[in-house]
Amino acid sequence: MKKVIATVILLCITIISVQAQAVDKVERRALRKQFHESLTPMQQAALKDQKALRKKHRKEFRATFNEVQLAIVKDKNLSKKGKRKALKKTLNEAQKSLRTSQKAKIKAARDQFKATLTDKQKALRAQLKDARHSDE
């Protein structure tokens, strides 16, 4: 009888936590939508450009991979974090410098975008950032 009660209580706690996570996800989605709607067309274009730049950098970086690195990327048994950790150990100096220069370009684009935000947009962005980090 005690096992049944313990199981029911555990099940209820699990259901409640899953529902709370779903609500948080919906709230974050609404916040993100509100933030994107507050952006000017120029700011939206800047975000699209940042996304395109990240894709371009990823493609350029992957083009430098050797067979061992490609095998790590294609390994289905590794998680994203595991792949990243394994890849980091195999990077040569040229790849490291490429990564560093790409990070600097992304940071410059991000800082340029941040400079165009109004106080209201900055507040919304901060709320989004807080909501994202509260789950981790």
Same domain, 109 and 96: yes
pTM score over 0.85 = no
Please provide residue 78's backbone torsions phi and psi, each rounded to the nearest 5 degrees. Answer: -95, 145
* One domain for residues 9 and 30: yes
Per-residue pLDDT tens over the stretch 35-59: 888 889 999 999 999 999 999 999 9
Residues 35 and 52 in one domain: no
Number of compact structural domains in the chain: 2
To the nearest 10 degrees (0 to 180), the angle between helices 80-90 and 67-74 is 170
pLDDT confidence of residue 15: 62
66 with 8, same domain: the answer is no
31 and 50 assigned to the same domain? no
The 10s digit of each residue's pLDDT in 10-31 is: 665 666 665 555 547 788 888 8
Same domain for 45 and 23? no
For 48, the domain range is: 41-115
| 33 and 60, same domain (yes or no) | no
Read off the pLDDT of residues 75-106 as tens digits, 9 standing for 90 and up: 999 999 999 999 999 999 999 999 999 999 99
> Please, are residues 124 and 31 in contact by the beta-carbon 8 Å criterion?
yes
Percent of the chain at pLDDT > 90 equals: 56
34 & 45 share domain: no
**Residue 49 has what pLDDT?**
94
Cα gap 130→122, rounded to integer Å? 12
Pair (59, 106) in one structural domain: yes
* 18, 77: one domain: no
**Do 110 and 136 share a structural domain?**
no
Judgement on whether residues 46 and 31 belong to the same structural domain of the protein = no
